[in-house]
Amino acid sequence: MWSTLSVGPAAFIGYLSISTPSSYANSYPITTVLANQLRPYSSTVLPSFIPVVVSSHPPSSSSSTISIRHSSALTMSTPTTTTTTTNNNIDGKAIAAQIRSELRQTVSTLPTPPPGLAVLLVGSRRDSQTYVRMKKKACEEVGIASFGYEYPDTATEEEIVQKVLELNQDDRVHGILVQLPLPAHMDETRVLQAVDPSKDVDGLHPMNTAKLCSTGTHVGVDKLDWTKLQSIPFHIPCTPQGCIELLDRSGVELKGKNAAVIGRSNLVGLPVAMLLMHRDATVTIVHSKTVDAEQVVRNADVVVAAVGRAEMVKKDWIKPGAVVVDVGINSVDDPSSKKGYRLVGDVDYAAVKEVAGMITPVPGGVGPMTIAMLLRNTVNSSVRIAAAKGDKDEK
């Protein structure tokens, strides 16, 4: 069943802005199509899994609006609709701001001490230093205690592992994040595996990966509610979790839909494919050896691009009305920019936007969600650790 609507053309992995827009203080955004932006040569067919309802309020003198609502199956403490002038963009920046607002309220109700996040930074990479500053600022906004540990490039692997083991035993710390990449002389796998899985808020420990890859379909296994990611009793990688959260909060139905994940990395491709499968989507992973990748992607209702190649996904790859989530972050030369470059995703945004039902921009799409999910993992960890300690004390 298809609903037809003509719409016009129109992360940095990290936290691009932590200011909370006043218009999103008590609601989270979803897509609104401005009727006066419609262009006849760029009609897009929106499939029925993108919920569309015509706003009941009268249009302003300058434009009329069509609001896209959240699925009624979602249970939120905040209003389920809002109006934004982002046409078919999925506004990750505003959704992340709403999640931080929700987390701030949650943290305010928790007993002291507050949830704590420890971040280990090894080396002097400017991008890593920037990410760490962003995470610290985000923690302050939400009310999470942050503990920073910085080491020079000359630090030894053993020194870092020992610090991780120390933090595993620190009751103030509920989440441990080792900022990647590590210097070349360190074994990244060994360092990450030293983190206690219960404090692995990056979701990269093999134990957490194994749990994510367990479908739990056989008799006798407790069934998890994958429609409520915050209820999952282990840590899910932040960027993949953020992708699904964007889709959920934009009202995109995943059950029974065809999904294509472009890229098979351990950080994004594989975990986001598992999350889509847990939501009963039929998932195809597209990679460098896939035959006729364009056609495979063209069959998908939902496309997640996480391959690390600038603007690789073109307009003719996308089925009209498909939802496109662009995880990529790439710099391309741009003499008109003060920096001499600009940031783009793995999707040819300007062209694909003309046919996509919804699309995440770069920047401002998936990027802001990564830190929002890191914060949520840390808060969830503090709650679970406190509950486990309470159970232990009772015994």
Residues 268, 294: Cα–Cα separation, whole Å: 20
Pairing status of strand 282-286 against strand 258-262: parallel
Say which residues have a Cβ less than 8 Å from residue 188's Cβ, sequence separation at least 6: 180, 181, 182
Say which residues have a Cβ less than 8 Å from residue 241's Cβ, sequence separation at least 6: 203, 229, 275, 369, 373, 377
Using the Cα atoms of residue 369, residue 374, residue 380 and residue 384 in order, give the sign of their dihedral.
positive
Helices 367-394, 92-109: crossing angle, 10 deg rounding:
20
Residues 95, 360: Cα–Cα separation, whole Å: 12
Q: Which of 179, 200, 326, 353 is catalytic?
A: 179
* Annotation says 280 is catalytic: no
* Annotation says 105 is catalytic: no
Nearest to 84 by CA among 100, 72, 67, 69: 67
The residue type found at 280 is D
The DSSP H or E segment spanning 270 is helix 269-278
Pairing status of strand 65-67 against strand 116-122: unpaired
Q: Which of 93, 98, 135, 257 is catalytic?
A: 135
**Other beta carbons within 10 Å of 350:** 12
Residues 62, 10: Cα–Cα separation, whole Å: 18
**Other beta carbons within 10 Å of 175:** 30
Q: Which of 91, 200, 202, 348 is catalytic?
A: 202
* Annotation says 135 is catalytic: yes
Q: Which residues of 201-240 are buried (b: 16+ CB within 10 A; e: fewer)?
A: bbbbbeebbebbeeeeeeeeeeebebbebbebebbbbbbb
The residue type found at 2 is W
Q: So which residues are the catalytic ones?
A: 135, 179, 202
